[in-house]
Amino acid sequence: MTQPVQDQGNPSRLPPAFLERDGTQRPADHYDAPQLTADHGPVQFHVMAKPVGAICNLDCTYCFYLHKERSPAGLGRGRMSEATLELFIRQYIEGVTGTEVTFTWQGGEPALRGLDFYRRAVALQKQYARPGQVIQNDLQTNGTLLDDEWCAFLKENRFLVGLSIDGPRAVHDQYRVTRRQQPTFDSVMQAVSRLRKFGVPFNTLTCVHRRNARQPIDIYRFLRDEVGSTYMQFTPVVEYRGFDQRSVSANRALLQPQESDPESRPGHVNSVVTEWSVDPEDWGYFLCRLFDRWVARDLGKIYVNQFETLVAQHLDLPSHLCVYSEHCGKGVAVEHDGSIYACDHFVYPEYKIGHLQESSLRQAVLSRDQVKFGYAKRESLPQVCHACPYLSDCWGECPKNRILSSASGEPGLNYLCRGLKQFYTHALPHVERIAAGLRNQPISQGRRM
Ligand code: SF4
Ligand code: SF4
């Protein structure tokens, strides 16, 4: 761990140098700034916790996390102990300066850790919360284990549930199957009924992949009318081939095809992505059709993550989604054994930034490695992004998806680029109009879109 060299003469000035572990000094630079200024301003970050690591009762074809249980570079099987849980909760609550702390429980399937674990978590949160601090809990689940006892607990403790559901039966069961390859649609719909019966608030999390991306309206209607979702999150499924063995940065050493190459599309024998990854043009199609429907009928009534964040950006507010932010690095993953990783999508050995037992969450988030990781989102953009009219909306999307080369041969172009451009070209005139309307709206009327 690097240490700031203290400036004893004037504590309000940033220390000019860092003392490295080996005793050498070097000038401080912008990667040190968050650590050097942390004591003088707010520190905000978000943690996704994995109480059972990658263990899941389902075997969804496209899951990007399941392999971590089995692969040599993975984390193996394991459950978060009560001691690690307490360390995590204390460090998270102590580490942030805001009045709100959101715990996101994810997996694998986090419900496999059992209700008693979460009862203990809630008790520890109450024990460590500072006066006035609001603690929130999100459970991201496949829903199949949520019985009445679970739902009563979730309601009583004000959990927000993120329920994975991909669309109507045939769409959902395409990839979301049990370990015996059996469909799961019915048990997820039972969870929907229970959540509604108990009044547990829930969002829907829908993966858009190669097989459902041409059905945006069917999926949207189903989620709105049959599931009763008013808060929809859509995520494009993109996995480069070999993601289960190595991180995307290790993959960069390999050839990156250009957008015009057939290998840049799913389904090709030498494709750069898995066969279930969404085709970039289909992602553009999905967003455009969905946007039209949302604007025509549901603007202000249904929250769709991809659209609300774009409107927010055009109101000069920060993006709600890390993928459309200029930098990343403020959302880390804590595994069952207490190891801390740069991001949920970068749980690979070279992206381990700390361990709850060895340092602290706050130190890990402010560490030079993590800040570099976050700044790289902007600093590694190819020239074609810098010249792009949609740069401030897109910011090159997620670095994990930057697996193509630009026409000039520069690596690091986002796989989804052509679909994103299609969407921005289509939606931005409407978004500008919506944003202009909201700017003129008195604050008292509320500004939810
Ligand atoms: S790597 Fe991707 S998912 Fe992770 S924080 Fe950055 S933008 Fe978000
Ligand atoms: S739309 Fe394409 S070129 Fe433009 S910023 Fe996004 S990834 Fe880069």
* 390-432 pLDDT tens trace: 999 999 999 999 999 999 999 999 999 999 999 999 999 999 9
Mean pLDDT score, 144-164: 98
Ligand 1 neighbour 396 (Cβ under 6 A):
no
Atom 6 of ligand 2, residue of closest alpha carbon:
396
Ligand 2 neighbour 391 (Cβ under 6 A):
yes
Atom 4 of ligand 1, residue of closest alpha carbon:
343
The whole-angstrom separation of Cα 139 and Cα 113 is 12
The share of the chain scoring above pLDDT 70, in percent, equals: 92
Mean pLDDT score, 267-274: 91
Mean pLDDT score, 365-379: 96
Phi, psi of 206 (to 5 degrees): -120, 125
Confidence at residue 433, expressed as pLDDT on a 0 to 100 scale: 96
**pLDDT surpassing 80 at residue 129:** yes
Cα angle 261, 258, 390; round to 5: 125
Give the Å distance between the CA of 361 and the centre of ligand 2: 32
Give the Å distance between the CA of 20 and the centre of ligand 2: 37
Confidence at residue 13, expressed as pLDDT on a 0 to 100 scale: 53
Average pLDDT over the chain reads 90
Ligand 2 neighbour 378 (Cβ under 6 A):
no
Ligand 2 neighbour 385 (Cβ under 6 A):
yes
Confidence at residue 444, expressed as pLDDT on a 0 to 100 scale: 45
Give the Å distance between the CA of 428 and the centre of ligand 2: 14
Point out the catalytic residue in the list 166, 282, 344, 393.
344
The whole-angstrom separation of Cα 211 and Cα 172 is 10
Assigned token pair, 350: 């070279």
Q: Element (H or E) spanning 197, and its range?
A: helix 185-198
pTM for the model stands at 0.91
Confidence at residue 128, expressed as pLDDT on a 0 to 100 scale: 97
Q: Which of 388, 398, 416 to mutate to test the pocket of ligand 2 (most atoms within 8 A of CB)?
A: 388
What 8-state DSSP symbol labels residue 298?
A: I
Q: What is the pLDDT of residues 303-356, one digit of tens each?
A: 999 999 999 999 999 999 999 999 999 999 999 999 999 999 999 889 999 999
Ligand 2 neighbour 416 (Cβ under 6 A):
no
The whole-angstrom separation of Cα 296 and Cα 77 is 47
Cα angle 362, 364, 370; round to 5: 120
Omega within 30 of 0 (cis) for the link into 108 = yes
Ligand 1 neighbour 208 (Cβ under 6 A):
no
Give the Å distance between the CA of 184 and the centre of ligand 2: 36
In the chain, the largest separation of any two C-alpha atoms, in whole Å, equals 69
Assigned token pair, 37: 């200024």
Give the Å distance between the CA of 68 and the centre of ligand 1: 18
Q: Which of 46, 48, 243, 400 to mutate to test the pocket of ligand 1 (most atoms within 8 A of CB)?
A: 400
Ligand 1 neighbour 345 (Cβ under 6 A):
yes
366 in Cβ contact with 332 (< 8 Å): no
Phi, psi of 35 (to 5 degrees): -70, -40
**pLDDT surpassing 60 at residue 254:** yes
Distances 23 to 197, 361, 372 between C-alpha atoms, Å: 62, 24, 22
Mean pLDDT score, 9-19: 57
**pLDDT surpassing 80 at residue 171:** yes
Can you tell me which atom of ligand 2 is nearest the CA of 384?
A: 3
Could you tell me which of 436, 135, 426 has the C-alpha nearest to residue 306?
426
Ligand 1 neighbour 323 (Cβ under 6 A):
yes
Could you tell me which of 275, 209, 217 has the C-alpha nearest to residue 241?
275
Question: Is 261 a known active-site residue?
Answer: no
Q: What is the CA radius of gyration of the chain?
A: 22
Cα angle 284, 285, 289; round to 5: 120
The residue assigned the tokens 């074609």 is 384
Tell me which ligand sits closest to the C-alpha of residue 428. Answer: 2
Q: What is the pLDDT of residues 313-325, one digit of tens each?
A: 999 999 999 999 9
Q: From start to end of 225-293, where are the E strands?
A: 231-236
309 in Cβ contact with 324 (< 8 Å): yes
Confidence at residue 371, expressed as pLDDT on a 0 to 100 scale: 96
